[in-house]
């Protein structure tokens, strides 16, 4: 690490004061603004999870009432899904890195980008208000008719929050898509794009095609709840399963909004820290698109026990298996990238290894759930909870931290202490497995999800899970601490602390307001590691 000084004028210090942040159109600053709100939502969601894990240390429902417990897991899900997982990588890291990576001054629509953040914050405030004024108890899935007719909690206000925040996601997807089409620097052809950009493109596709459907679905739910319209009401002949179809038409692809961008991060980091080009670049790029497309055709695997026809269930089961193919393509290609690489054990790489292992377990257990027969046994058990936490926390959050640790020196110009980052990565990895691996076993043994009390024989595994959760909490707090510490005391990172080859590393850290002193001319691909290492040898 060289001790260079920070650039004299950069995007962080070019203007000062709160107004300069709240009115900024700079994609880098907007990325930071998202980081702030998402961090708040993350710790809020973590707080609810803490309540859940405390309750579940004993079989009796003694810490909170059943009703409070319902609210805790619902608000945990709403906060984490809509306000952490969906915006985390695209809106924070994507906003910061995308224009830099393609050699642009900004995204295509900077004002719209800022508006997206405000929409996100307004949605968050509505949801927050719903939480403060008593919470919501339907589960994050808002299934009708409970949500539309019977629940006594703040379904409407939460729904409005989710509806509003959805438009932030749509507009960000739109913005990124146009940016990737129209803002690339001269010479930046599609097949020279970094794989993170391909992943963001695939994600944008899902965001613009899926998110409007959840918006209108929540809108219909609101009409039914607030005005008494009949759309899903079984008393009028309406079909609650239609709600489930429409809900999952978005919410299953939403899983790919959460996981595709982290997959892009993994491709960036793994190439840099094994000093090798990504193996099978075009396969990794197209597998992102394949996941985005297949992702739209599998939603009904959430409805296998909801009374859908066995024939459509078979088709959806088959298609759900098919999604494993592009996912496996990625995993194999990452592994092949590591092969004979010069692996550099720094913090971002530790998160990558965590991601690959945990995503593998999460993905394979997904195949268990996509099997029609086995799903009848495992549906609505802790097996499902463990499965999607392996994908969403083990996959998406780990990938987010890989990216955050990778680009942090670029974002702030400063390095965090490597020993602290290593400790945190290991803590989170062990804490995570201790929290969620027992839940696979609990689910297999038949413990249903969403209950605040359970049979005594499940206690040992639940205590292990709660113990793991406390390790996770320590790990996440540690990350927050050393990242904040690094802002003030971190060593200056220099333009390219990882000796990485993307365009974003060719400008200063933190970058100047316009990103590059002059528009870069691109005449090579994003990954030039192999050639470079050979030269060195």
Partner 1 sequence: MPEIAAAHADPGAHAHHPALQHHFQTLEQQQEASTLGMWIFLVTEVMFFGGLLMAYLLYRVWYPLAWSEGSLELDIRLGGFNTVVLIGSSLTMALAVRSAQTGAQKATVRWLLLTMALGLTFLVVKFFEYREKYLLHHIPGPNFQFEGPEAAHVQIFLSLYFGLTGLHALHMVVGFCILAVITWMAHRRRFSPEWYTPVELSGLYWHFVDIVWIFLFPLLYLVDRAHHLS
Query: Smallest Cα–Cα separation from 199: which of 101, 122, 277?
Result: 101
**Would you say 163 or 436 has its CB closer to partner 1?**
163
H/E segment holding residue 49:
helix 27-55
* Closest by CA position to 357, among listed 405, 322, 395: 395
Nearer to partner 1, 239 or 457 (CB): 239
The nearest distance, CB 109 to partner 1, in angstroms, is: 6
Q: Which is nearer to partner 1, 189 or 282 (CB)?
A: 189
Cβ–Cβ < 8 Å for 169, 213: no
Q: Shortest distance, CB of residue 167 to partner 1, whole angstroms?
A: 9
Give yes or no for a contact between 249 and 286, defined as CB atoms under 8 angstroms apart: no
Beta bridge partners of 492: 414
Residues 370-373: contacts with CB under 8 Å, at least 24 apart? 370/298, 370/301, 370/317, 370/320, 370/321, 371/317, 372/304, 372/310, 372/313, 372/314, 372/317
Q: Strand, helix or coil at 492?
A: strand
Q: Taking the complex as a whole, how short is the minimal distance between the CB of residue 213 and partner 1, in angstroms?
A: 5
Strand partners, 448: 381
Q: Would you give the end-to-end CA distance of the chain in angstroms?
A: 21
Shortest distance (Å) from residue 401 CB to partner 1: 30
The answer to whether the beta carbons of residues 181 and 270 sit under 8 Å apart is no
Which CB atom, from 142 or from 353, has the smaller least distance to partner 1?
142
Q: How far apart are CA 230 and CA 223, in angstroms?
A: 8
d(CA 28, CA 117): 13
Give the nearer residue to partner 1 in terms of CB position, either 139 or 219: 219
Shortest separation between residue 218's beta carbon and partner 1, angstroms:
10
Minimum CB separation of residue 238 from partner 1 in Å reads: 6
* b/e per residue 167-193 (b: at least 16 CB within 10 A): bbbbbbbbbbbebbeebbbeebeeebb
Give how far the C-alpha of residue 319 lies from the chain's centroid of Cα atoms, to the nearest Å: 23
Shortest gap between Cβ of 174 and partner 1 (angstroms)? 5
Cβ-based nearer residue to partner 1, 237 or 310? 237
The least distance separating partner 1 from the CB of residue 239, rounded to whole angstroms, comes to 7
Phi–psi pair at 382, nearest 5 degrees? -65, -15
Q: Which is nearer to partner 1, 241 or 467 (CB)?
A: 241
Q: How many CB atoms lie within 10 A of CB 334?
A: 25
Nearer to partner 1, 154 or 211 (CB): 211
Shortest Å, Cβ 299 to partner 1: 12
Q: Which is nearer to partner 1, 477 or 519 (CB)?
A: 519
Q: Report helix, strand and coil shares of the chain as percent, to nearest 5.
A: 70, 0, 30
Q: Whose Cβ is closer to partner 1: residue 220's or residue 369's?
A: 220
Measured from the CB of residue 116, what is the shortest distance to partner 1 in angstroms?
Answer: 13
H helices then E strands: how many in the chain?
18, 0
The nearest distance, CB 245 to partner 1, in angstroms, is: 8
Taking the least distance from each CB to partner 1, the nearer of 134 and 187 is: 187
What are the residues binding partner 1 (CB under 8 A)?
Answer: 104-106, 108-110, 112, 170, 174-175, 177-178, 181-184, 186-189, 208-213, 215-217, 219-220, 223-224, 227-231, 235-239, 242, 245-246, 519
Please tell me the distance from the alpha carbon of residue 495 to that of residue 498, in angstroms, as a whole number. Answer: 9
Tell me the C-alpha distance between 405 and 414, whole Å.
Answer: 11
Are 393 and 432 in contact by the 8 Å Cβ rule? The answer is yes
CA separation for the pair 200, 289 (Å, rounded): 10
- Return the number of the residue (177 or 447) whose C-beta is nearest partner 1: 177
CB of 210 to partner 1, least distance (A): 8
Q: In whole angstroms, how close is the CB of 330 to partner 1 at the nearest point?
A: 26
Q: Cα–Cα distance between 522 and 537 in angstroms, integer? A: 26
Q: Which is nearer to partner 1, 218 or 369 (CB)?
A: 218
Instruction: State the DSSP string of 166-195.
Output: HHHHHHHHHHHHHHHHH-PPTT--GGGS-H
């Amino acid at each position: 690490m060289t001790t260079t000084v920070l650039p004299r004028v950069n995007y962080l210090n070019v203007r000062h004061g709160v107004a300069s942040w709240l009115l900024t159109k700079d994609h880098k600053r907007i990325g930071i603004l998202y980081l702030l709100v998402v961090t708040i939502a993350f710790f809020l969601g973590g707080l609810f999870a803490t309540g859940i894990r405390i309750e579940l240390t004993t079989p009796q429902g003694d810490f909170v009432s059943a009703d409070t417990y319902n609210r805790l897991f619902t608000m945990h899900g709403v906060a984490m899904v809509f306000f952490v997982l969906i915006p985390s990588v695209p809106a924070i890291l994507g906003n910061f890195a995308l224009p830099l990576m393609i050699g642009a001054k900004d995204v295509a629509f900077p004002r719209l980008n800022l508006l997206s953040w405000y929409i996100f914050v307004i949605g968050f405030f509505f949801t927050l208000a719903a939480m403060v004024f008593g919470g919501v108890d339907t589960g994050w899935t808002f299934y009708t008719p409970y949500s539309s007719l019977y629940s006594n909690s703040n379904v409407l206000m939460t729904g409005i929050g989710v509806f509003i925040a959805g438009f932030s996601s749509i507009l960000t997807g739109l913005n990124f898509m146009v940016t990737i089409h129209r803002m690339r620097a001269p010479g930046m052809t599609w097949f020279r794009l970094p794989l993170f950009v391909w992943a963001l493109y695939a994600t944008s596709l899902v965001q613009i095609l899926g998110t409007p459907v959840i918006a209108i679905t929540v809108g219909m739910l609101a009409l039914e709840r607030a005005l008494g319209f009949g759309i899903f009401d079984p008393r009028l002949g309406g079909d609650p399963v239609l709600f489930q179809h429409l809900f999952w038409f978005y919410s299953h692809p939403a899983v790919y909004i959460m996981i595709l961008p982290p997959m892009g991060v993994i491709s960036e980091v793994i190439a840099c820290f094994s000093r090798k080009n990504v193996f099978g670049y075009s396969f990794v790029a197209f597998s992102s698109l394949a996941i985005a497309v297949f992702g739209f055709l599998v939603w009904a695997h959430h409805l296998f026990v909801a009374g859908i026809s066995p024939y459509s269930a078979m088709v959806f089961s088959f298609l759900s298996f098919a999604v494993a193919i592009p996912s496996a393509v990625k995993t194999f290609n990452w592994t092949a990238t590591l092969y004979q690489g010069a692996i550099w054990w720094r913090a971002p790489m530790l998160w990558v290894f965590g991601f690959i292992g945990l995503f593998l377990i999460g993905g394979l257990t997904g195949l268990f759930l996509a099997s029609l027969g086995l799903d009848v046994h495992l549906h609505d058990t802790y097996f499902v909870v463990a499965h999607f936490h392996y994908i969403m926390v083990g996959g998406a959050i780990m990938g987010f931290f890989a990216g955050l640790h990778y680009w942090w020196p670029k974002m702030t110009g400063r390095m965090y202490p490597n020993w602290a980052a290593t400790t945190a990565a290991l803590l989170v990895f062990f804490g995570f497995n201790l929290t969620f691996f027992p839940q696979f076993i609990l689910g297999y043994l038949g413990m249903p999800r969403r209950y605040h009390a359970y049979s005594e024989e499940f206690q040992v595994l639940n205590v292990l899970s709660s113990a793991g959760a406390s390790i996770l909490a320590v790990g996440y707090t540690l990350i927050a601490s050393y990242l904040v510490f690094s802002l003030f005391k971190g060593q200056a990172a220099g333009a390219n602390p990882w000796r990485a080859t993307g365009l974003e590393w060719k400008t200063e850290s933190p970058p100047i307001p316009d990103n590059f002193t002059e528009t870069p001319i691109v005449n090579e691909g994003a990954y030039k590691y192999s050639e470079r290492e050979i030269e060195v040898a």
